[in-house]
Amino acid sequence: MQKEITITLFGEFENKPVSAYQISNNNGMQVELINYGATITKIITPDRAGVGGNVLLGFDSLDGYLQNGHMYLGSIVGRYCNRIAHAKFTLHNTEYHLAANNETACLHGGITGFDKVCWDAQIWDGNRVKFSYLSEDGEEGFPGNLQIEIIYTLTDENELIIGYSAVTDKATPVNLTSHGYFNLSAFKEPTILNHELVIFADQYTTQFHEPPEPTLIASVKDGPLDFTKSKKIGRDIKQLPGGFDHNYVLNKTGKNALEKAAGLYDPTSGRVMDVFTTEPGLQLYTGNFIELAAGYHADNDTFINHAAVCLEAQHFPNSPNEPVFPGTILNPGETYQQQTVYKFSIR
């Protein structure tokens, strides 16, 4: 029997109410969402002793999100998540210029991306919330009026399913993701360095920091980025300046097939999170700048670096400028559709 979704006031943004939507299932899980940034603010799931804990980094008030917007905590990120080199792209012989908000690149849709706007919300049959947003032609420099819908579904199999769809009246790049920061110990472990991770990817796209270009596809084999066999996140992290912040090329058997991308396990709590997606790529980001956030959290007094890990399913960075990468251009008459599933269990 479906439980009712509860709605509470979470704050106010630009004189509009921001509401929190709590979805509970019949198997010990609870998810909280807010319409600011179509953001996941809490994911409560049981450990091997059956004790529930919040495994998602977030805030209990809107202020926390407004003060730490540079972290994109739990939010939907777009119109184009990750980076576009030189903050520009050419489409149908027109050059489009975006905000260079990350060195000379455009990151996460520019200055006011989808994580920093209020979405319309609609609740459905007890376990589903739909967020909608119209990104107008020219918003952050992108062409076309883009109507986006995000549907969050919490199943009794402890899956949080994120369904993405969008239509446009003019050709435009679209690359959306959910930017959750996870710590499966429910932050009883101060960092995720002891979490074990497997990523089903033999290759990654080289991180472009101008130059070298073009962005290349390289093998992870036997290097610090190799997660083809499960290993502790902390084992090789010191070999990477700051930590992991890399986009993996997932081993896909079929274009747009919903397939397993990664598995995360916390030996302390026994919690497991498996990630399935239709996307070709996955960004591994180990919360390398959290200390700068000087944030606060209901359960913790401060964040520390590597307090949580992001596994963001998406297309590759800079795809509008890399013709060999899977395409991200949505044309009028087409429907952008992607799905990512975060499935929680215990071991």
Binding region for ligand G6D (CB under 6 A) = 71-72, 102, 107, 245, 285, 289
Cβ closest to ligand G6D, residue 46 vs residue 180: 180
| Least distance to ligand G6D, CB of residue 106, Å | 12
Whether residue 235 has a cis bond before it, omega within 30° of 0: no
Q: One of 179, 195, 306, 315 is an active-site residue; which one?
A: 179
Minimum distance of ligand G6D from residue 191's CB (angstroms): 17
Of the pair 56, 272, the CB lying nearest ligand G6D is at 56
* Residue placing its CB nearer to ligand G6D in the complex, 71 or 87: 71
The residues that bridge with 151 in the sheet, in sequence order, are 130, 163
Report the SS3 class of residue 139: helix
Report how far apart, in Å, the C-alpha atoms of 98 and of each of 157, 184, 316 are.
Answer: 41, 36, 18
Distances (CA, A) of 242 to 23, 288, 303: 36, 6, 16
Q: Are 261 and 277 in contact (CB under 8 A)?
A: yes
Contact 43, 31 (CB under 8 A): yes
Distance CA 197, CA 309 (A): 10
Omega within 30 of 0 (cis) for the link into 79: yes
Check if 139 is active-site.
no
Considering the complex, what minimum distance in angstroms separates the CB of residue 317 from ligand G6D? 9
Residue 109: DSSP 8-state = T
Q: How far is the CB of 337 from ligand G6D (least distance, A)?
A: 23
Q: Please say which residue, 289 or 296, places its beta carbon nearer to ligand G6D.
A: 289
Catalytic residue (choose from 32, 140, 312, 322):
312
Q: Is 334 a catalytic residue?
A: no
Whole-angstrom distance, CA of residue 328 vs CA of residue 256 = 12
Active site residues: 179, 312
